[in-house]
A and B are shown apart, each in its own frame.
Chain A
């Protein structure tokens, strides 16, 4: 069974600085999707970024980018130029291509942003 591990329960960053959130996963599959979701205090789960495992190029969405290391089964999220609105819980998630319907979530990292 696939598992997703987020080893940092909490992180903090100064406004305008860069922070990296870690995620590792375990799978025997070669093709899959990886996601980062943001959950602000409003509870809404918002997709931040997605990565297809067959793509070597790291996904980027504005200030958010990932470092996808397939061999190491690592999928970290980098937030550049951090803003106060980035403060939230961040969840890493895995979805198999074979079993395409289930999202497997990590336990989350709470990010604090200080002015």
Chain B
């Protein structure tokens, strides 16, 4: 299995631009999680899905952030418009069932200038 796949690995953009991060979970996994990692705040859960349905988006910082999961094998996290304070590493993780280990992707390092 290829594991959780994220793209791009690195993204540099200018303030005000739209940014879309992509994630392909492990096949067969029914949970998908989006995390953000910063030096100041550590690892934060932004949103998670179960069977493609958003369950808890209370961690999404503001309306500029949105996430979708149109099918079991693909999810996006979009920031529009982006701001310098959004600069962070964004991780996607998936798991099978809610008692099992979460497998993390390699992350996307986002830099907003």
Contact = CB atoms under 8 A, between A and B. Distances in A.
Interface string B97-113: 01101111011010000
A108 B42 contact: yes
The contact size tier of chain B is 20 to 34
Contacts of A105: 42-43
The contact size tier of chain A is 10 to 19
Contacts, number: 41
Given A101-B31, A106-B42, A45 B98 contact: no
B43 A91 contact: yes
Nearest to B43: A105
Interface in A29-86: 33, 35, 37, 42-47, 50
Contact of B56 (A35, A42, A44, A101): A101
The 6 A-B pairs at the shortest CB distance, nearest first, are namely: A45-B104, A100-B98, A105-B43, A43-B107, A107-B42, A47-B101
